[in-house]
């Protein structure tokens, strides 16, 4: 009799087939206050991290962009301005609640015509080969069950020469910063989650999922193994966040 495959959900080991549902429950719970919590958790610095991602994307007029785990649409909004009416932005997220919040928010901001919304699993992207000039995934890869499968899926739908940008929490570069970050993540973050969203457990999971995510060098090697070329990463805020970039050969 074969052993049941497990994966991590934060610090817990759960059956592989259960992880997506558990992650979905987390984001259904926090979707309505997601942006407010992002501002509170990062002191607004997440906006600078995202701006740097856009600068490194090389996206310009007429491009097709896929924003995976795009949630409430921060990056999609900026990309829709860059690609213009000739381009296309696909805001994709596996979570229906996050997608609904993102779609409504972008509609309220007047985005229309060059943006479509797609409920999609990063591991099995429902798009033809060689479709996009750029793919971004911001703070979403750590929630994917099979990251290698997702990276190969992203490579498939990128055009040759297209870029993938992965913005994700990573490993702080100094021991002192690492200790301070741990205290913040495991004590203050769940407390803020309880206060703002009445959900401490979801934010405890998010803190744990960050610790279980591959560090900078490991993720770079995963991208190379998936078939990406010219892979590099940029540490921000002392390595608390890293932006990885790779190109489809």
Q: What are phi and psi of 164, to 5 degrees?
A: -110, 135
Q: Where are the beta strands (DSSP E) in 16-79?
A: 64-68
Bridge partners (DSSP) of residue 245 are 165, 232
Strand, coil or helix: what is 162? Answer: strand
**219-228 contact pairs (CB < 8 A, 24+):** 219/141, 219/166, 219/168, 219/170, 219/244, 220/244, 222/147, 222/148, 222/151, 223/151, 223/164, 223/166, 225/148, 226/148, 226/151, 226/152, 226/154, 226/155, 227/152, 227/155, 228/151, 228/155, 228/164
Query: Is 136 marked as a binding-site residue?
Result: no
Show the tokens assigned to 22. Answer: 């558990």
For residue 5, the 8-state DSSP code is P
242 assigned binding-site residue: no
Largest Cα separation within the chain, whole Å, is 56
**Euclidean distance between CA atoms 34 and 197, whole angstroms:** 9
25 is in an annotated binding site: no
Q: Residue 72 annotated as binding?
A: yes
Binding residues: 72, 93, 121-122
Binding residues for S-adenosyl-L-methionine: 72, 93, 121-122
């Amino acid at each position: 009799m074969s052993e049941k495959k497990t994966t991590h959900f934060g610090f817990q080991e759960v059956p592989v087939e259960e992880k997506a549902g558990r992650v979905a429950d987390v984001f259904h719970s926090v979707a309505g206050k997601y942006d407010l919590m992002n501002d509170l958790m990062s002191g607004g610095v997440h906006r600078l991290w995202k701006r740097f991602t856009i600068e490194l994307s090389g996206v310009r007029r007429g491009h097709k962009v896929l924003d995976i785990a795009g949630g409430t649409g921060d990056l999609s909004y900026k990309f829709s301005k860059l690609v213009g009416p000739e381009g296309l932005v696909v805001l994709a997220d596996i979570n229906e609640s996050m997608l609904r919040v993102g779609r409504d928010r972008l509609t309220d901001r007047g985005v229309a015509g060059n943006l479509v919304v797609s409920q999609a699993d990063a591991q099995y992207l429902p798009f033809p080969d060689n479709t996009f000039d750029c793919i971004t995934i911001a703070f979403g890869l750590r929630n994917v069950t099979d990251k290698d499968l997702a990276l190969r899926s992203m490579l498939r739908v990128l055009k040759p020469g297209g870029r993938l940008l992965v913005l994700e929490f990573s490993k702080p570069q100094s021991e002192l910063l690492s200790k301070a970050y741990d205290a913040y993540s495991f004590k203050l973050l769940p407390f803020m989650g309880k206060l703002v969203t009445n959900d401490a457990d979801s934010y405890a999971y998010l803190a744990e999922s960050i610790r279980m995510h591959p560090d900078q060098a490991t993720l770079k090697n995963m991208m190379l193994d998936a078939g990406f070329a010219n892979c590099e990463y940029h540490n921000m805020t002392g390595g608390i966040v890293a932006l990885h970039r790779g190109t489809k050969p």
